Structure 1
Amino acid sequence: MKQKPIIWTISGSDCSGGAGIAADIKTGHGLGVEVCHLITANTVQNSVKLLSVNPVAIDILQQQFDVLLEDKPPSVIKIGLVAIVEQVIWLTQVIKKIKLTIPELIVVYDPVGQASVGGHFHSLSRAELRPLLNIVDVITPNLAEAQNLVQLTDGAHQAALAQAIYQAFNIKAVIVKGGHNDNPQQCLDYCYYQLNQLKQDNQDKTHQPISYQLSSKRITSHYSHGGGCSFATAFASFLALGYLVRDAFTLSKAFINQGLQASIKQSQAKQHQYYGAFEALSWPTNAVDFPKVSEELSRQYQDLPAFNSLNLNGRKLGLYPVIDSIYWLKRLLPLGLEIIQLRVKNLADDELEHVISEAVELAKDYDTRLFINDYWQLAIKYGAYGVHIGQEDLAEADLHSIQQSGIRLGISTHGCYEFLLAQQLQPSYLAIGAIFPTTTKDMTGQIQGLNNLAQVLSLRPEQQEKQTPVVAIGGINIERAPQVLATGVDSIAVVTAITKAENPELAVAELTAFL
């Protein structure tokens, strides 16, 4: 059995079982991580009132910290209720110390302040919290907590709050939860993230901040006690499991939607004032629980019609070779493939245009669908069947022009956030990768694996006629192809499995036999 990643949760105990340590343990175990806990305070509360907060002595916390560090070191620490300034000072010191021995450690802080039932968990000022705020990696306040941290007015929107928190404390990822906003129909969550700061995202070469925004239909349930704690712990768990910030953010939102939706009937059967514990379930896999991506790209193209289909007439898309020259195109076109992609790099403009025009002309004598990688203007100019665009180039492409030209569009995705965004754009097909490590491209931190591929495929609409074909790519060879296809993917894209094979034509035949 594979060892589970370990997270520590350092927070208060809620004797009513809704929030704090109880929520953290239920959430972590439901998502498949091992949870160790240090209790900062014993609270006296129920579903209608908070009576008292009783801090735990520093010497007890220190003993627990030392014995756990010796036996069960964490990959992520999630901090919730910090009751007194002495705990702030202690936490700041021990986190600095542990990061010397575990430099890849990520610290997530959920700044618990006011109880949902009324009353305050602590009276710490921003100045007193600052030492801790300056060393955490992720912070997950709700609207009120965010406003309090940066002392902005009630009118400040989430983006402004997140950016103000980042600037004030240099926290690498700021997530402002939207469960307490005034919109009765929609719940928005906003993440402001400094790329290349968390260790698990070190493949990003830019240091420019980026934002992610997710929206969901508001789910009204009286079983939401501990929802904020559960969100932060879910996020910590997904980080511990190796997910990038954007995907951990998306999965955490889906986890919360799933729990709230599961308690609707129970909530309706109770009296209105009842305040029950959030329903922390397991891994979210139902497409209806996942949010919509609400960022500039999705808003820009929200009214864009769907791109033309691949016109498969019930056939499978089959094997999808990705090649880099006219030589390989001439060699593969006679083999009766449904689709081929030409991906050429580092050519002078004149040579590039000549290669693409020749490739399109060659493909006209065959039924194979030729996609041009990235160069959408030239694909339109020479009438290619389609163009494939990677995530790094998607924002620069003119999707209106591509759609109006009638050529097909394929989009690369890496994980659930990008898959949801690309799916909203209604392309002709979606690619997801890298499924396995590959020598053709540096995919550090973005290897999906078979389990994640299957999970992402579950995010397609239930109705088959509404599903966009999905291509798996990255490190796929003859030995791995059956496992990949068993996930239900529509096609497999390969590069070196053909171009470095002793007999490329035989390799095509063997791979095609699986499809």
Structure 2
Amino acid sequence: MHTVHDTPRPPVIWSIAGLDTAGGAGLSADQRAADAFGVHLCPVAACLTAQHSQGVNELLPVSELALDSQLQALCDDLPPRVIKTGLLGSVAAVVAVARWVDRLRATLPEPPALVVDPVLKASAGGAGFSNEAIVQAYRQWLVPRATVLTPNRAEALALLGRTADDTSAAHELAQALCALGARAVLCTGGDGSGLAQADAQLSVDWLQAPHAQGWLVHPRVPTPHHHGSGCTLAAGVAAALALGHVEADACVLGKMLTHHALTHHRLAGHGPGPVVARAGFAAGPAHGGAPLPWLGLGTDLPWSLGAECPLFQPFTPPHNGLYGIVATGEQVQWALDAGVRCVQLRHKATQGFGPHLAQALAAVDKAPPPAAEEGPTQLFVNDHWKAALQAMPTGTMAPVSQLGLHLGQEDLLALTPEDQQQLLAARAGVMLGLSSHSLWELARAAGCGASYIACGPVQPTTTKDMPWRPQGAHNLAWWVAHSPVPVVGIGGLLTWQDLSAVAEAGAAALCVVRALTDAPPPWQERVEALADAISQTETSTTMREIPLPHPVL
């Protein structure tokens, strides 16, 4: 006798797109992408195509009645969390989709997101997919309703009513599309001008989203078999949105899925073969997953392109796994006395920082040499990076490689071009730690060539007022699996039990703040208990695959 167990229902997405008789693009690619994410896709045929791997012979848009009947049937039983559009084939279909989006957003408890892949031309050539009337319908009806729009450069120009010889940069096109109403835009394929050399080796897309903007960069997969890659990207973004990720993180995951699908293409027919999305695309490079893309700062490409990673001095994980964070120079001394070899001076006041820095540098300079197995003593200075760099030539500190800077993402984004040049000029002599709370921030920190990347908050914390959901051991392990440099966990680690609960994620160090500073000195016994909690927990990250990260906002 078999027992049927109820399992959680996956999120539902509708894909309203074309049926590719060759099985490469359209609804076929969307289905593979949804399966890779573990969401349920409902395929809605808006247009039938007679095509093969070498071109499209004919387009056969379905009638308004046929399209409406499909959507009504789904509405009665499978309401969507996200709607994704591909090839629609007619003005009537574009208008019908927009009206259904309005209807569902007005009636469902959770209004569905809309991902618009403006398929205006077949990559394989052949019959045209659109005309000026269809482009105008997209501009009027779908772009203003789009949660995420995923055009290539030619499609972006068409949607904006511009000519093919327009030289506007990708970020200008994306901003113009957002001005028409799109909430976020992922403009694929570089900007067609200044990135020509980089674009030959890289997959360079411009991300314009409420939470993040910049070049999202992956190594280009050298293959002629790329049929369905655009559909896969948009469907991946839709699936990630359905799982609860915000637009910027959904685009990071969608780009990872597409990179992985390109490496797992399939030969079919005599033309370009289809890309094949599959589960495990985000399991980490050690398990055959896609690499993390890098996100640039402003309109610049990531600092790390063409350089070794890390770009700054390497971080040495502390022997006992502890990274202490304190507020005063005196507390730096107490932490060193207790055996903490990696200490951050986080003094948030803008006034009176100099004496604390001087005391901290003196404490490191005078600290007895650590045992060989303990590694170097490392002092990181939070926020006040210019003061720390100014202190470097004074000779008050033993080897300069022991000095590190730590910046939050807000501080990183606030750097002027002159600040960036000053920071990069010092990279041979200092370490750089960067905070991250989301996939896009992880991608940006990796692109900046950080020495280590902090992931947080690991657990609920009252030290800072944050909008972020706790990462937990699960997301911390995902960071470890995808970061090109060591990861440290931070936030809410107050007791040895807290450290023990997340140590298995495999972070290079766990940050302790109040676990140290809530007690009066000396701190030796407390440090020993915290270190024991880490050392007695087996790290299993390298022996298991890492599932998809959970949403952070």
TM-score (norm 2): 0.78
Tell which deviates more after alignment, 89-98 or 26-35: 89-98
Aligned-pair CA distance for 1:131: 1.9
CA gap 1:510/1:353 in 2 versus in 1, 3 angstroms = same
2:158 to 148, 156, 160: 148
Aligned to 2:244: 242
Aligned-pair CA distance for 1:476: 3.1
Q: Distance in 1 between matches of 2:454 and 2:470?
A: 13
Aligned-pair CA distance for 1:419: 3.1
CA gap 1:387/1:241 in 2 versus in 1, 3 angstroms = same
Q: Distance in 1 between matches of 2:465 and 2:363?
A: 31
Aligned-pair CA distance for 1:233: 0.5
Q: Distance in 2 between matches of 1:240 and 1:145?
A: 25
Q: Distance in 2 between matches of 1:288 and 1:131?
A: 35
Tell which deviates more after alignment, 110-119 or 383-392: 383-392
Counterpart code for 1:419: L
Matching of residue 476 in structure 1 with residue 500 in structure 2: no
Q: Distance in 2 between matches of 1:299 and 1:291?
A: 10
Aligned residue for 2:236, secondary structure, equals helix
Tell which deviates more after alignment, 145-154 or 357-366: 357-366
Counterpart code for 2:144: N
CA gap 1:415/1:119 in 2 versus in 1, 3 angstroms = same
Q: Distance in 2 between matches of 1:179 and 1:194?
A: 17
Q: Distance in 1 between matches of 2:111 and 2:353?
A: 43
Aligned-pair CA distance for 1:217: 4.0
Aligned to 2:538: none
Matching of residue 119 in structure 1 with residue 134 in structure 2: no
Aligned-pair CA distance for 1:374: 0.7
Aligned to 1:233: 235
8 Å Cα contact 1:12/1:21 also seen in 2: yes
CA gap 1:86/1:488 in 2 versus in 1, 3 angstroms = same
1:309 to 296, 314, 317: 314
Q: Distance in 1 between matches of 2:519 and 2:54?
A: 68
Q: Distance in 2 between matches of 1:488 and 1:35?
A: 35
Aligned residue for 1:236, secondary structure, equals helix
8 Å Cα contact 2:21/2:52 also seen in 1: yes
CA gap 1:187/1:358 in 2 versus in 1, 3 angstroms = closer
Aligned to 2:546: none
Matching of residue 95 in structure 1 with residue 77 in structure 2: no
Matching of residue 107 in structure 1 with residue 114 in structure 2: yes
CA gap 1:442/1:29 in 2 versus in 1, 3 angstroms = farther
Map of 1:364-513 to 2, 5 A cutoff?
364-366=365-367, 368-383=377-392, 385-395=403-413, 396=415, 397=419, 398-400=422-424, 402-403=426-427, 406-445=429-468, 447-460=470-483, 468-477=485-494, 478-500=496-518, 506-513=525-532
CA gap 1:146/1:427 in 2 versus in 1, 3 angstroms = closer
Aligned residue for 1:252, secondary structure, equals helix
8 Å Cα contact 1:213/1:294 also seen in 2: yes
8 Å Cα contact 1:44/1:52 also seen in 2: yes
Q: Distance in 1 between matches of 2:241 and 2:56?
A: 32
Q: Distance in 2 between matches of 1:115 and 1:304?
A: 37
Aligned to 1:274: 271
Matching of residue 13 in structure 1 with residue 19 in structure 2: yes
8 Å Cα contact 1:255/1:289 also seen in 2: no
Tell which deviates more after alignment, 174-183 or 238-247: 174-183
TM-score (norm 1): 0.83
1:166 to 157, 174, 178: 178
8 Å Cα contact 1:92/1:135 also seen in 2: yes
Q: Distance in 1 between matches of 2:52 and 2:337?
A: 72
Aligned-pair CA distance for 1:96: 1.7
Aligned residue for 1:353, secondary structure, equals helix
Q: Distance in 1 between matches of 2:83 and 2:329?
A: 52
Aligned to 2:216: 214
Tell which deviates more after alignment, 35-44 or 1-10: 1-10
Aligned-pair CA distance for 1:473: 1.3
Matching of residue 177 in structure 1 with residue 188 in structure 2: yes
Aligned-pair CA distance for 1:138: 1.2
Q: Distance in 2 between matches of 1:46 and 1:407?
A: 56
Q: Please provide the CA RMSD for this pair.
A: 3.2
CA gap 1:407/1:22 in 2 versus in 1, 3 angstroms = closer
Aligned to 2:354: 353
Q: Distance in 1 between matches of 2:274 and 2:90?
A: 26
Aligned residue for 1:36, secondary structure, equals strand
Aligned to 1:206: none
Aligned-pair CA distance for 1:10: 1.7
CA gap 1:161/1:348 in 2 versus in 1, 3 angstroms = closer
Aligned to 1:254: 256
CA gap 1:33/1:64 in 2 versus in 1, 3 angstroms = same
Q: Distance in 2 between matches of 1:442 and 1:68?
A: 42
CA gap 1:354/1:294 in 2 versus in 1, 3 angstroms = closer
**Number of residue-to-residue matches in the alignment:** 485
Counterpart code for 1:492: L
Aligned to 1:205: none
Aligned residue for 2:49, secondary structure, equals strand
Aligned residue for 2:427, secondary structure, equals helix
Aligned to 1:189: 204
8 Å Cα contact 1:212/1:246 also seen in 2: no
Tell which deviates more after alignment, 96-105 or 229-238: 96-105
Aligned-pair CA distance for 1:26: 0.9
Aligned-pair CA distance for 1:175: 1.4
Identity of aligned residues (%): 30
CA gap 1:297/1:278 in 2 versus in 1, 3 angstroms = closer
CA gap 1:449/1:193 in 2 versus in 1, 3 angstroms = farther
Aligned-pair CA distance for 1:360: 3.0
8 Å Cα contact 1:304/1:425 also seen in 2: no
CA gap 1:180/1:6 in 2 versus in 1, 3 angstroms = farther
